[in-house]
Copies of this chain bind each other. A is one copy, B any other.
Amino acid sequence: MAMSSSSAIRHHSHLTAAAVEAAPLRERRVSSLINIPATLSNLLHLHHERNPDDRSVGLPPPAVGLPPPAVGRNTPTVSPKEDISSLFPEIYGHADWSPLLNPLHPWLRREIVKYGEFAQATYDAFDFNPLSEFCGSCLYGRCRLLDKLGLARNGYRVSKYVYAMSHVKLPRWLERSLHADAWCTESNWMGYVAVSDDAESRRIGCRDIVVAWRGTIAPTEWFEDVQGKLKPLGDAHSDVKVEHGFLGVYTSKSDRTRYNKTSASEQVMEEIERLVSHYRQRGEEVSLTITGHSLGGALALLNAYEAASTIPDLPISVISFGGPRVGNVAFGEKLKEMNVKVLRVVVKQDMVPKMPGILFNEGLKRFEHVTGTLEWVYTHVGLELGLDVRSSPYLKHRLDVAGFHNLETYLHLVDGFLSSDKEFRGNARRDVALVNKASGMLRDELHIPPRWAQMANKGMMCNAYGRWVKPAREPEDIPSPYREEAQL
């Protein structure tokens, strides 16, 4: 094994990342034969990291004669930022996204990844631990959320957290503490509102308000639980109909709760209105970008619909990842009419975007004379950026329902996407290891452990007296309905 792998590296060391990028699809067949992943793994120094002054004892010396890697362990995971303000209407879809999608414009790719990271933050910062008294909350206080997750570089500031009731019968997004002194058993942290800082606003050409919605993790349960019951939006006679479960998450509230005396809808709309009014008073251009993965993608659409109804002249775009269908044809047409721009990033192999409505969906349009008005049929909205798991040489291709739906898989594929007929981008810089944070999608040759994101000792720490204890959350990370009050 050791011999064959190292000789593979020697023979193909001329195959640099740049060469890989340029290779058209036909050559890719060849490059799979010569074991690209092992080569890339080596180029990326993924399988083990050494200190520069490391005098390894008892190990074979590192292979010599390799060209300097194009993307190595010392390469930052993002390219230098460029001023994209000249293209703002195109990048944000308010003109027309289509010309920028295939091939994918590098500026747009970068922005899609940025919003995907905002959506990913809602998973990375969520307290899933049922033994935690704060299960279902965000692990970090609002002011340092992005900093804790290494996203401060994106140049945004979180201005409000949004909560939704967890009694709604929807699969697996609700988490409830088993702890007797739980912070709250009725609500879950459901996302946040953030706003671009001055530098980022200048760079993109607009003061950007972001809403990021948390989604679900396990798509398998969708099959059982998303019944696909359409329900009128607004008054009972409305043509516009949406999935009743999604609507339930978005609109439920109860006076007896601490975090949902108002619904997620009311919380988020109040904050959007406040921010829009604040920045417009300063004479600034303001836009709203709503993002989310999975269920979060559905909530993003409901949120966009409401925002467009409430603030008609606000430029609104939705960038969703692996989102399901949300409403009927009338819902989609109304969104279009209100000028809401929707970009759906969809992995071909992912099941969730096929739901609800696997049988009854927009594909029935050509039978409209049979089905009537399609009032009771689900439809997707907006433009689709289609990704293919098989395009990445880093990923396993075998069936993995959870892995295909994983947001990090999406972000990896966006980062490597050049166009629908091109090879995976060889100089993609985003850290490939992230794919395996919560999945096992990476090929074994990369030696990245599957599902590696885990807390040291499940949060237990040894104190100065030698006892293993669960440290209390730091005061600024403890949820509080009072502290959640928005501030600029």
Contacts and interface: CB of A to CB of B under 8 A. Distances in A.
Copies of this protein, total: 2
A78 interface: yes
Contacts of A475: 54-57
In order of increasing CB-CB distance, the 8 nearest A-B pairs are: A58-B480, A456-B456, A49-B469, A433-B468, A77-B466, A452-B458, A449-B458, A57-B480
Nearest to A57: B480
A151 to B, nearest CB: 11
A340 to B, nearest CB: 34
A77 to B, nearest CB: 4
Contacts of A363: none
Interface stretch (A157-165, A178-186, A210-218): A178-186
Interface stretch (A40-48, A102-110, A232-240): A40-48
B462 A453 contact: no
A455 interface: yes
B181 A469 contact: no
Nearest to A460: B452
A2 interface: yes
A271 interface: no
Interface stretch (A68-76, A280-288, A292-300, A317-325): A68-76
A60 interface: yes
B55 A466 contact: no
Contacts of A454: 454-458
Interface in A27-57: 45-51, 54-57
B179 A447 contact: yes
Interface in A121-140: 129, 131, 133
A327 interface: no
Contacts of A129: 449
B449 A460 contact: yes
Given A179-B447, A454-B454, A462-B150, A58 B478 contact: yes
B472 A50 contact: yes
Nearest to A467: B431
Interface residues on A, range: 35 or more
10 contacts: A47-B470, A48-B469, A49-B463, A55-B475, A58-B183, A58-B480, A76-B465, A150-B462, A431-B467, A447-B470
Contacts of A468: 431, 433-434, 448, 452
A472 B447 CA distance: 13
Contacts of A76: 465-466
Nearest to A479: B58
Contact of A448 (B57, B452, B456, B460): B460
B48 A472 contact: yes
A49 B470 contact: yes
A367 interface: no
Given A59-B478, A449-B131, A458-B452, A73 B469 contact: yes
Given A56-B478, A433-B467, A452-B460, 9 more contacts: A5-B180, A49-B470, A58-B478, A73-B469, A179-B447, A447-B470, A449-B460, A452-B458, A453-B457
Interface string A470-488: 1110010011111100000
A467 B71 CA distance: 11
A459 interface: yes
A58 B150 contact: no
Contacts of A478: 56-59
